[in-house]
């Protein structure tokens, strides 16, 4: 290890090129390490302590009392007693299961389109990234207070939005032979098109960067061999971009689960900050975290089996 990071010059050990690169890498992640161990890790420890305790806030600070049932009182309450927790958790998981494939497909399709050469390509790429800006805190607040958006929400609440959704489902069932589950999936996709576009900005950029990194010589060789554009897509583009599908899936799942409009996030925030139930809210957060971690492990394990890594050697 010393010979790889250091080299001997004129009787003295100095950093090699690999050592300088390693030092630059450590300096690059140093702010994250400081923030994690100094700020974030103590907060995690406190959250775990809160989840096993009953906290009372006083004028002098807070007082922790050990919860009943060996400290698992809040976890037992969330999983077996609270009727809203399991419903909110299943709703959040169901929404993610429906939205993540749609976001990935739309992002890949949009990135493929704007990767083509046409006039105004730079402007088109900027337009697709606008949703990322629109979901920032200040702009999102302005959007939620906009009169037009409020009017649309009131109209939907009065039943017109539900009626149009049901009409769409009815038409698909009458004029197509698709299974009911597929019809419901497509109807939900169309009904939530705005949310899908808003959540796809970063994924489009990642896919676009991956598409631009594919060597043109691969397409030239396949063209000389007589491959069609469709065959080149499935034999070159899709395998080369498959590692980024895993990255975007992980990012989309985490982003969707931590979105402020998520039912579970709202419930946890309400319990902790509005109802001042720090212990119970922390237990809800840790159950939610474990569910997210398990889903990420399953999704990552399934997708990683199909990933193709190109070796240039």
Higher pLDDT, 267 or 123: 267
What residues have CB less than 8 Å from 292, skipping those under 6 apart? 253, 254, 257
Q: Do the Cβ atoms of 283 and 51 come closer than 8 Å?
A: yes
**What pLDDT shows up at residue 7?**
66
At which residue do the structure tokens 């799942």 appear?
253
Q: What is the CATH number assigned to the segment(s) 51-124+199-308? A: 1.10.3720.10
Proportion of the chain in helix, strand, coil states, percent, rounded to 5: 75, 5, 15
Q: Is the pLDDT of residue 181 over 90?
A: no
Answer for the pair 24, 36: CB distance below 8 angstroms, yes or no.
no
pLDDT tens column, 96-131: 888 898 899 989 988 888 888 878 777 777 777 776
Instruction: Judge residue 291's burial from the number of C-beta atoms within 10 Å of its C-beta, 0-12 exposed, 13-18 middle, 19 or more buried.
Output: middle
pLDDT class of 289 with cuts at 50, 70, 90: very high
Return the closest-CA partner of residue 283 out of 92, 98, 127, 71: 71
Q: What is the per-residue pLDDT across 206-263, written as a single tens digit (0 to 9) for each?
A: 999 899 888 888 889 888 888 888 888 888 888 889 899 999 999 999 988 888 778 8
Q: State pTM to two decimals.
A: 0.74
Average of pLDDT values for 129-147?
57
Average pLDDT, the chain: 79
Domain ranges of the chain: 51-124+199-308, 136-192
* Euclidean distance between CA atoms 97 and 94, whole angstroms: 5
């Amino acid at each position: 290890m010393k010979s790889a990071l250091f080299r001997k010059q004129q009787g003295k050990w100095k950093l090699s090129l690999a050592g300088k690169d390693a030092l630059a890498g450590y300096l690059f992640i140093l702010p994250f390490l400081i923030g994690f161990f100094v700020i974030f890790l103590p907060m995690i420890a406190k959250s775990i302590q809160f989840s096993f305790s009953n906290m009372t806030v006083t004028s002098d600070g807070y007082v922790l009392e050990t919860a009943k049932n060996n400290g698992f009182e809040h976890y037992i309450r969330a999983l077996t007693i609270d009727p809203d927790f399991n419903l909110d958790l299943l709703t959040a998981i169901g929404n993610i299961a429906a939205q993540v494939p749609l976001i990935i497909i739309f992002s890949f399709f949009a990135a493929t389109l704007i990767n083509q050469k046409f006039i105004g390509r730079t402007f088109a790429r900027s337009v697709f990234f606008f949703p990322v800006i629109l979901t920032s805190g200040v702009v999102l607040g302005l959007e939620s207070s906009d009169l037009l958006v409020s009017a649309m929400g009131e109209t939907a609440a009065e039943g017109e939005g539900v009626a149009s959704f049901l009409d769409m489902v009815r038409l698909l069932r009458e004029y197509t032979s698709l299974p009911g589950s597929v019809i419901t999936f497509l109807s939900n996709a169309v009904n939530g098109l705005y949310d899908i576009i808003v959540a796809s900005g970063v994924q489009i950029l990642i896919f676009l960067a991956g598409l631009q990194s594919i060597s043109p010589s691969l397409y030239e060789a396949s063209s000389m061999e007589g491959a069609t554009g469709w065959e080149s897509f499935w034999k070159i583009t899709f395998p080369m971009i498959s590692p980024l599908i895993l990255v975007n899936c992980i990012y989309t799942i985490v982003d969707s689960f931590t979105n402020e409009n998520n039912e579970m996030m709202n419930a946890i925030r309400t319990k902790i900050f509005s109802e001042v139930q720090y212990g119970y809210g922390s237990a809800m957060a840790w159950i939610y975290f474990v569910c997210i971690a398990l889903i990420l492990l399953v999704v990552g394990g399934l997708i990683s089996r199909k990933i193709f890594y190109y070796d240039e050697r």
